[in-house]
Amino acid sequence: MMLLPLAVVLLAAFANAEPAINEARPHSNRPGRFLSLPIPQKCANRPKQFNFRGHNYFYSGHVPAHANQKVDWLDARNICREYCMDLISMETQEENNMIFRLIQQNDVPYIWTSGRLCDFKGCENRRDLEPKSLYGWFWSANREKMAPTNQVPNGWGFNPWSQTGHKKVRQPDNAEYDINGTNESCLSVLNNVYNDGIAWHDVACYHEKPFVCEDSEELLNYVASTNRGIRL
Ligand SMILES: *[C@@H]1O[C@H](CO)[C@@H](O)[C@H](O)[C@H]1NC(C)=O
Ligand SMILES: *[C@@H]1O[C@H](CO)[C@@H](O)[C@H](O)[C@H]1NC(C)=O
């Protein structure tokens, strides 16, 4: 059986991500939550609303099964993952602006992305991530590091993080920590909530929001390799 080792590797990767989930919800009354595994039937029939560079995407508000649904960051990831997708990662300005246009044209108040602060178990002793507010952010869907938050990312014409927020300082500002000790460890795109246009903000992960899913090559490859003949 050639397939078992791959499955084991992938399951190990999922298990590694699990502590992050608990750390993300220090006051959670839903402890021990896990990342969901893909469901082959849902992957094969996943919503494909638009396509960019070979990846399919959907905005939850435009999918009947998820319209009006607002969920916390992990639930959003897991809804996407059952479709062999994950929350969106905006690595390029082109992809970012595609999402900004979607938000603008549909008057979407905010969305979850896969952006995450590396502040959980496994992120300790990483000098390259310090200080966390500048160097600690990454796309959890593909584990790619983001540019330092105070810099214009390579190849971009602007810094997508907002210049303002609850504390009237540039983002990320971890503002909710000052209010009640909850860290703002997840990345949301907010639509003019602080009279700042459409921009990136750090937000506590328990907030409930609509979301954008993007194809996950890792999950699609996994389901393709374990379901002979499946059309994805
Ligand atoms: C939450 O934020 C505070 C203030 O920045 C920081 O001291 C603390 O280490 C953070 N918690 C985690 C789990 O990173
Ligand atoms: C933190 O404070 C906000 C705003 O007052 C509140 O909505 C939220 O439930 C609090 N979060 C926790 C985990 O106590």
Pocket of ligand 2 (CB under 6 A): 27, 179-180, 182, 206
Question: How far is C-alpha 70 from the chain's CA centre?
Answer: 14
**Residue 173 Cα, ligand 1 centroid: separation in angstroms?**
11
Look at residue 55 and tell me whether its pLDDT is greater than 80: yes
Read off the tokens for 86. 């994950």
Identify the pLDDT of residue 211: 98
Residue to mutate (ligand 2; options 25, 166, 180, 184; most atoms within 8 A of CB): 180
Domain 3-23+43-226 has CATH 3.40.190.120: no
Query: What average pLDDT does the structure give for the chain?
Result: 89
Look at residue 10 and tell me whether its pLDDT is greater than 50: no
The residues spanned by each domain of the chain are 3-23+43-226
Residues 111 and 186: their CA atoms lie apart, in Å, by: 11
Identify the pLDDT of residue 28: 42
Identify the pLDDT of residue 8: 35
Residues 202 and 217: their CA atoms lie apart, in Å, by: 26
Confirm or reject: Cβ of 120 under 6 Å from ligand 1. Answer: no
Which are the contacts of 202, defined by CB distance < 8 A and separation ≥ 6?
117, 171, 172, 173, 174, 184, 185, 186, 187, 188
Residues 207 and 209: their CA atoms lie apart, in Å, by: 7
Identify the pLDDT of residue 40: 98
Identify the pLDDT of residue 164: 98
Residue to mutate (ligand 2; options 174, 182, 207; most atoms within 8 A of CB): 182
Q: What is the mean pLDDT of residues 8-34?
A: 44
pTM for this predicted structure? 0.87
